[in-house]
Amino acid sequence: MSDTLGTRIARRARRDPVRALVRVFGRPLVCGDCGRVILRAIPVVWRGRVRLVGAREHNVRVMFATKEHLEFRHVELDRCPSPERPWVP
């Protein structure tokens, strides 16, 4: 017997609340070099450090471009295309 929609939503929200928050409130983080979307996460700046909620398996380099703007980049060079790396799709 299948569960109702409300039951399935409640079960999923209890199982992975971080994923649900990232889907609703997250924003796409774009690489500053190539312009491709790296991942979808919630950047939180606290005490001079940046935490990316929802970026468990992704390696991202974060820098302050100005006092109010963050710049994100790929850590792995094989994911960011450039003229020096023509093999990257």
User: What residues make up the domain containing 60?
Assistant: 26-79
Q: Is residue 72 part of a domain?
A: yes
Write the CA distances from 13 to 4, 7, 43, 49, 50, integer angstroms: 14, 10, 21, 28, 25
Number of domains in the chain: 1
Q: For residue 3, is it within any domain?
A: no
Answer whether 0.75 is exceeded by the pTM: no
pLDDT digits over 47-79, tens only? 888 888 888 888 888 888 888 888 888 888 777
Convert the pLDDT of each residue in 10-49 to its tens digit: 877 776 788 878 888 999 999 888 888 888 999 888 888 8
Q: Is residue 11 part of a domain?
A: no
* Residue 89 maps to a domain: no
- Whether residue 88 lies inside any domain: the answer is no
